[in-house]
């Protein structure tokens, strides 16, 4: 049994990860990929959920099919995107 408390790791924000994830999700228009990634404004304490909410919100407006694939592929609970 471990006596160590769970430590949440933080990593530096990397917009390239969003760009690559959008392409993997099916976005092919490079301009739109960059536009969506640019909408994510970073701040201290930002979580992956915060980033996903921004991305999914924009994908649902521009490309609902890719938005659905993004959510399924990343295996997220759809209820969290309704916030």
CB of 37 within 8 A of CB of 54? no
CA angle 13, 14, 19 (to 5 degrees): 135
Domain segments of the chain as ranges? 15-82
Using alpha carbons, list the distances in angstroms from residue 1 to 4, 5, 7: 9, 11, 16
What tens digit of pLDDT does each residue of 52-79 get? 889 999 999 999 999 988 888 766 555 5
What tens digit of pLDDT does each residue of 37-50 get? 999 988 888 888 88
């Amino acid at each position: 049994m471990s006596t160590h408390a769970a430590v949440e790791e933080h990593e530096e924000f990397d917009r390239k990860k969003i760009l690559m994830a959008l392409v993997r999700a099916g976005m092919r228009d490079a301009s739109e990929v960059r536009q969506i990634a640019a909408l994510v404004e970073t701040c201290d304490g930002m979580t992956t959920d915060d980033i996903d909410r921004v991305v999914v919100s924009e994908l649902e407006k521009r490309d609902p099919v890719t938005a659905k694939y993004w959510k399924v592929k990343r295996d997220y609970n759809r209820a969290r995107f309704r916030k």
